[in-house]
Amino acid sequence: MNKRPIEYVSTEHTNIRRVVNSVGNAMSDLDTLFRLETERFNLSLAPLQILSEKSARLAKIIDSLWKDLKEHFAYEEENLTDVLGATLSKALKMEHAEIAREMEYVKTIISGSSFDGLTQPEMLAKKSNLQQAIGKLCQMIEDHAKDEDVLVKLVKKATKK
């Protein structure tokens, strides 16, 4: 049994968690700006520009995360079937598909997250929707990685000599 794919998966989880953390940080920046502006009861033109910039930064980070995840998923689906067997590989692919659907949903929300011309309540609703979707996506990715970490640990244990 080849241990290299297992080692690669472990390393990749660390990298993906780092990017997921960046998504969380970008969302926190956006949330902080909203909170400050809401407390002042005035989402002025300057903060709208900042909101747009922070939203664009978030979109870039999400795109980077999706690129990394697609590569990671493809690698796992191609290289772990022999290690995990048909049943676990099928479950892995199903989870990858669920994460892909949620990622597409998040990307749709972000692409439609222009705050221009919206009232303050509309902006807050849009921000809340985005925050919930990103929170769900990040949790799905983390839960999936934790499940895979357990599998990796078991495979490593089983292949120790």
Residues 6+ apart with CB under 8 A from 62: 23, 103, 106, 107, 110, 134
User: What per-residue confidence (pLDDT) applies to 45?
Assistant: 45
User: What per-residue confidence (pLDDT) applies to 113?
Assistant: 67
The token duo for 90 is: 């099928």
Range of the domain at 128: 4-159
d(CA 100, CA 88): 18
CATH of the domain at 53: 1.20.1050
Instruction: Using the structure block, give the residue that is written with the tokens 């009232």.
Output: 119
In 10 A of CB 149, how many CB atoms?
A: 13
pTM above 0.85, yes or no: no
User: What per-residue confidence (pLDDT) applies to 29?
Assistant: 64
The predicted-structure confidence for 39-84, as pLDDT tens digits, reads as follows 555 555 446 677 777 778 888 889 989 999 999 999 999 988 888 8
User: What per-residue confidence (pLDDT) applies to 34?
Assistant: 61
User: What per-residue confidence (pLDDT) applies to 71?
Assistant: 92
User: What per-residue confidence (pLDDT) applies to 37?
Assistant: 54
In 10 A of CB 17, how many CB atoms?
A: 14
- The tally of domains found in the chain comes to 1
User: What per-residue confidence (pLDDT) applies to 87?
Assistant: 94
